A and B are shown apart, each in its own frame.
Chain A
């Protein structure tokens, strides 16, 4: 457990020292969302209707943007090799890195999403469900993303490959995330969708660290 805490602390410390990475993700998210009113016109009804979808798709892309560096820096400077030889199981280490990744991308995205929802005239009734869905869904993005990041480690043009690999796997999160947010905005029950998101989170929490760790061992061999 001390290894988990040590790695989590180190990754958070690195993220804060090199604050640009977090700022980039948040700025990308905000800018991409703000483009939509310019693109589709300022009609409040139209914006309100697409708001949940726009927020989720851009959050997904913003998270994807930051995935490439999840293991790459450690791979390049030899840290990953050293980490794989630590007594702490690699699976636990992957989990620590995913938690750090979520705290520096998913959580900031969840925090500013309500502000951006305002820009899109998102219905006030949908906010609690939107935030709950993002809180449940964004960790899944980090966990599934870790598998993709580990599989593409060391590949040329890893970024493009990573998107091709990971985006299709994000579709369930997108579907239930948007459904939960929209259902609440339309006055319907959002609970089933949130429960499905929670199930996705539980499933990826259990499986993703193992898959990513196996891919990392492959990359190191």
Chain B
């Protein structure tokens, strides 16, 4: 198994997930090589977020294993956390802090003390840098959340519905950022309803894996 998957850096095998009494999905597998993108599709409740949370190590799969370069991520969660960016539904933006302070904080937590200003510029937030985040619109807050991707480096990006409340321009910025990231050898997994034009991306529809049975 390890030999066949040796080119792939991020792999999952036979994954099953249970939320409470409900089995969300089972027998899900993925394999991403450096530069690969994975689009997670499926209707509401099919487990896109659950799968991303498993990939991030926020939850443990009921069955199956996720590995990075052949080593289970559960064996060294600290190393896995250091290599990933997870942008969830919520923006994790503090209304009382300015946009720049919010971003600099998240970058600082990952040991990157520069890069916040540049990331704000890339997401066209430099004019808002000194505004308290409470004055930002929903789309701007989302952009501020996504700017974390640029403010500190990480190999693996896990994005949950990243285009929600983004305008066309911001979506374009995000797609460019993802393309640059992939060119640099990074992996990205995106859960999305709206079709995202990611060239050469693998798709995984969780609708095919929904068990929908109780117990």
Are A and B interaction partners? yes
Contact residues, A38-92 vs B (CB, 8 A): 77-79, 81-89
Which chain B residue shows the least CB distance to A5? Answer: B108
The yes or no answer to B12 lying at the interface (CB within 8 A) is no
**Chain B residue contacts of A88, Cβ below 8 A:** 109
Chain B interface size, under 10 / 10 to 19 / 20 to 34 / 35 or more: 20 to 34
The yes or no answer to A191 lying at the interface (CB within 8 A) is no
Contact residues, A2-41 vs B (CB, 8 A): 2-3, 5-7, 9-10, 13-14, 17-18
Is there contact, CB below 8 Å, between A13 and B101? yes
Instruction: Say which residue of A6, A81, A89, A220 sits within 8 Å of B108 (CB atoms).
Output: A6
Given the interface contacts A3-B109, A85-B81, A86-B110, does A78 sit within 8 Å of B88 by beta carbon? yes
**Chain A residue contacts of B59, Cβ below 8 A:** 221
Is there contact, CB below 8 Å, between B109 and A78? no
**Chain B residue contacts of A5, Cβ below 8 A:** 108
Contact residues, B47-73 vs A (CB, 8 A): 56-60
Kindly specify which of B28-36, B91-99, B177-185 makes contact with the partner chain: B91-99
Is there contact, CB below 8 Å, between B58 and A78? no
Chain A: interface residue total (CB-CB under 8 A): 25
Given the interface contacts A3-B109, A6-B105, A6-B108, does A79 sit within 8 Å of B94 by beta carbon? yes
The yes or no answer to B90 lying at the interface (CB within 8 A) is yes
Which chain B residue shows the least CB distance to A93? Answer: B109
Report Cα–Cα, A118/B82, bound state, in Å.
53
A-B contact count (CB 8 A): 71
Is there contact, CB below 8 Å, between A14 and B94? yes
Instruction: Say which residue of B57, B60, B88, B109 sits within 8 Å of A7 (CB atoms).
Output: B109
The A interface, classified by DSSP as helix, strand, loop or mixed, is helix
Report Cα–Cα, A57/B60, bound state, in Å.
42
The yes or no answer to B78 lying at the interface (CB within 8 A) is yes
Which chain A residue shows the least CB distance to B85? Answer: A85
Is there contact, CB below 8 Å, between A3 and B108? yes
Is there contact, CB below 8 Å, between B111 and A82? no
Given the interface contacts A14-B96, A78-B89, does A85 sit within 8 Å of B84 by beta carbon? yes
Write the nearest CB–CB distance from B84 to chain A, whole angstroms.
7
**Chain B residue contacts of A17, Cβ below 8 A:** 96-97
**Chain B residue contacts of A6, Cβ below 8 A:** 105, 108-109
Given the interface contacts A85-B56, A89-B78, does A79 sit within 8 Å of B92 by beta carbon? yes
Q: List 29 A-B contacts (CB under 8 A).
A: A2-B108, A2-B113, A3-B108, A3-B111, A6-B108, A7-B105, A7-B109, A9-B105, A10-B94, A14-B96, A17-B96, A77-B90, A78-B91, A79-B92, A79-B94, A81-B58, A81-B88, A81-B90, A81-B92, A82-B106, A85-B58, A86-B81, A86-B109, A86-B110, A87-B78, A87-B81, A87-B82, A87-B110, A89-B78
Given A14-B96, A87-B109, 9 additional A-B pairs, CB 8 A: A3-B108, A3-B111, A77-B93, A78-B90, A81-B90, A86-B109, A87-B78, A87-B111, A221-B59
